[in-house]
Amino acid sequence: MMSSSDRVRVRKPASERRAEILASAASIALNEGLERITVRSVASRLDVRPGLVSHYFPAVDSLVIEAFTIAAKDGQFDTQTIPGSPAARLAAIIEGLGEAKAQAQYRLWSSARNFSRTSAAMAMALEELEESGRSRMIDLIEQGIRTGEFKGVDATAACVRIYMAIDGYGVYANNPLPFGHDAYEFFVSDVAEWALGLAPGTLRTHPNDERAFNPN
């Protein structure tokens, strides 16, 4: 029987190996949590020696932060390519908030916020991602203002309120039991309608079969 030490090791280009390590770490981040990212856990997934991982990432914190950034960017809201009006695209974003992939993102961000308490680098990574998200959401809202869908609206204020609602909604992702009250299910759409001056129920029923939350 051939032992693991007898197997032929393939020497990959440094850029390819680094990307492979980060992809594995990002998968662990989404499926198990940032706290599960270790040199050994990543090496085990890739079937390589831990020393290879630590060669590319001598400090595991840098691996955790880069893995989070990759996983979080893959889960960013699609505010532009979904077909339809700005209101339809926002409705699609909100509709996708209850999906399993979105739930994984809530847990990921919660884990990152905890990590940032002792890591200035993680705190800055969060700031940059949040700023990017706000910029795209503000742009979407401003498009709606120009088309007349959102009237008399402060785009920045509306964006902040919508994201605060999403953050509050996402806190429940770690609950061990489901929580299905309408006040929770429609909380984000209710807040978004208020922030954008829309009639109650507008974003609950806006016709759009596409999904805007796409972490794949």
Class of domain 76-205: mainly alpha
Q: What average pLDDT does range 59-88 have in this prediction? A: 92
In the chain, pLDDT over 70 holds for what percent of residues? 90
73-to-77, 88, 94, 111, 215 alpha-carbon distances in Å: 9, 22, 18, 15, 8
For the chain, the structural domain boundaries read: 11-71, 76-205
**pLDDT at site 211:** 38
What the block records as the tokens of 6 is: 């007898």
Letter for the amino acid at 95? E
Q: What average pLDDT does range 30-45 have in this prediction? A: 96
Q: Is the pLDDT of residue 173 over 80?
A: yes
Residue 21 CA to residue 45 CA, distance in Å, equals 9
Nearest to 135, CA basis, from 76, 75, 204, 197: 76
Q: Quick check: 172 and 179 in contact, CB under 8 A?
A: yes
Residue 66 CA to residue 54 CA, distance in Å, equals 14
Q: What is the per-residue burial (b if ≥16 Cβ within 10 Å, else e) of 50-81?
A: eebbbeebeeeeebbbbbbbbbbeebbbbbee
pLDDT in tens, 182-213: 899 999 999 999 999 999 999 986 544 443 43
**pLDDT at site 176:** 82
**pLDDT at site 150:** 97
Q: CATH number of 11-71: 1.20.1510, 1.10.8, 1.10.10, 2.60.40? A: 1.10.10
Cα-flanking dihedrals φ and ψ of residue 213, to 5°?
A: -100, 110
Q: Quick check: 126 and 52 in contact, CB under 8 A?
A: no
**pLDDT at site 7:** 53
What the block records as the tokens of 162 is: 């919508």
Q: What average pLDDT does range 88-114 have in this prediction? A: 94
Reported as a pLDDT band with limits 50, 70 and 90, residue 1 is: very low
Q: How many CA atoms lie within 13 A of 103 on its CB side?
A: 11
Phi-psi domain of 62 (left: phi exceeds 0; alpha: psi -120 through 50; beta: other): alpha
What does pTM read for this prediction?
0.85
Q: Is the pLDDT of residue 14 over 50?
A: yes
**pLDDT at site 9:** 62
Q: Quick check: 105 and 215 in contact, CB under 8 A?
A: yes
Higher pLDDT, 175 or 65: 65
**pLDDT at site 92:** 93
First-to-last alpha carbon distance for the chain, in angstroms, is 39
pLDDT in tens, 127-163: 999 999 999 999 999 999 999 999 999 999 999 999 9
Q: Is the pLDDT of residue 79 over 90?
A: no
**pLDDT at site 162:** 98
Give the residue carrying structure tokens 């085990």.
44
**pLDDT at site 215:** 30
Handedness of CA 85, 132, 113, 16 (dihedral sign): positive
**pLDDT at site 11:** 77
Mean of per-residue pLDDT scores for the chain: 89
